[in-house]
Chains A and B, each alone.
Chain A
Amino acid sequence: MATVNLGKIKLKWKGGWNSSDTFTADDVVSYTDGSVTSSYIAVATSTNQVPSTGGSPNSSYWEYLAKGQATSPTTTQGDLIVRGASADERLAIGSAGQALKVNGAGNGFTYGVAGGLLQAKQWVKNSVISNNNQSDSVLASPFDGTARITPAAAGNIIKVSYFNSIDHGSNWRSNKLRLEWSSDGGSTYYGLAGCCITTGDYTSEMYGNNGNMTVMFNPNTTNEVRVRVITNGHNSGAGNRHGQYMNEGSDNSVLNMDTVNGVIATGHAILLEEYASAIASVTAIA
């Protein structure tokens, strides 16, 4: 009687694939390729032929019967899934204030300081302040502590940039300017930086002078930080037109700033910036 080979008349479950067994067509196995467990059906007889590698089936001997889904590599709140060299991987969250950026090798991601400048706030005074006090005096707003910034983290560095052009009367000699800061709402101020605007020779007056200060400091707090300006004019010739840079001489009357296309070009302003402690530092030398 003739024998007709029908082959397998149903799929044959062989359990987990192993390298020592011989599999024939229509055998079905499970196999974990990386982190993905799938079922495979044999399409040819084989021994020690892994069903798939790197997500690609060994199609000379095996095809997917049902492809599995990778289990999530995440374990902790804030984890991200990123592709590693051959499979998805977990990327743990970074520290507060850090940003996600490309790693040094250029083939993945890492958390770290990005940029470093965290915030910048500027106050511009669009009018001239008249005052010629010859004692330490808190300058008018916004130079009276109105300029404020709140650091995101203790240890971050605050940078202050301040400029002021000062006109004067008929006996211009010099004017002191001093920056101070407070982190307790203005009850206690600490010295920061100072400068003196001077003609050098009061008998050869220079009509209008400019003071610039750029300085960084570490308030070591997350409290709001206020910065103010102290002015103090020479007792025989104080500045008395703060923010006035017009080159009109000593007539002691002009209070204008230039206006260009309807916009005032100010003569005094203060800028506060916060830098991450990872990229900024202040060194004081006795």
Chain B
Amino acid sequence: MDINTFVKAYTLFINKSGNEDIKDTDVMVSDIYHNDTITESTWLSMCEWRALKNGIYDVADKQSKVTWSAIAALETEAKAVPDGN
């Protein structure tokens, strides 16, 4: 999927019921392959994870429940979300 959709899907994922424990996490996605595409085979090399610590979204490890399949399942829903920002 394209990176913009991925970011929106990630936001949907962390805001889903049951994911309150990762609500204050974030992702930074670098388009290192220069094709505006993120896939299951590339997403771990493109993403950096952030978690809220002392008021700052600081460098953190990926939470185990954050999986490609969980985010990819929200692709269609994410495409319906207006860009907004």
Contacts and interface: CB of A to CB of B under 8 A. Distances in A.
Interface of A: 125, 127-133, 135-141, 144-145, 168-172, 230, 233, 237-240, 250, 252-256
A168 B83 CA distance: 9
Contacts of A140: 28, 30, 48
Interface of B: 2-4, 7, 26-32, 34, 36, 48, 50, 52, 55-59, 82-85
A255 B82 contact: no
B26 A253 contact: no
Contact of A132 (B7, B32, B50, B52): B7
- Point out which of A128, A168, A237, A255 has the most chain B C-beta atoms below 10 A from its C-beta: A255
A131 B27 contact: yes
A254 B83 CA distance: 13
15 contacts: A127-B31, A128-B31, A129-B31, A130-B28, A130-B30, A131-B27, A135-B57, A136-B55, A138-B50, A138-B56, A138-B59, A140-B28, A140-B48, A144-B48, A170-B85
B56 A136 contact: yes
Nearest to B28: A140
Contact of A170 (B36, B58, B59, B83): B83
Given A141-B48, A169-B85, A129 B59 contact: no
Nearest to B53: A138
B4 A137 contact: no
Give the 8 A-B residue pairs with the shortest CB-CB distance, closest first. Answer: A137-B57, A169-B83, A140-B28, A169-B85, A130-B29, A255-B31, A131-B28, A238-B85
Contacts of A170: 82-85
A183 B63 CA distance: 28
Contacts of A139: 28
Contact of B3 (A171, A172, A255): A255
Contact of A168 (B2, B26, B85): B85
Nearest to B34: A127
B85 A253 contact: no
A137 B85 contact: no
Given A130-B7, A138-B57, A255-B36, A171 B85 contact: yes
Given A140-B48, A252-B83, 14 more contacts: A127-B34, A133-B57, A135-B56, A136-B55, A136-B56, A138-B57, A144-B59, A169-B84, A170-B82, A171-B84, A171-B85, A238-B85, A253-B4, A256-B34
A238 to B, nearest CB: 4
Nearest to A186: B59
Contact of A253 (B2, B28, B58, B82): B2
Nearest to B60: A138
B47 to A, nearest CB: 9
A175 to B, nearest CB: 10
Contacts of A238: 85
Contacts of A136: 55-57
A237 B85 CA distance: 5
Contacts of B52: 135
B28 to A, nearest CB: 4
Nearest to A252: B83
A266 to B, nearest CB: 12
B5 to A, nearest CB: 10
Given A136-B56, A140-B48, A131 B36 contact: no
Contacts of A135: 52, 55-57
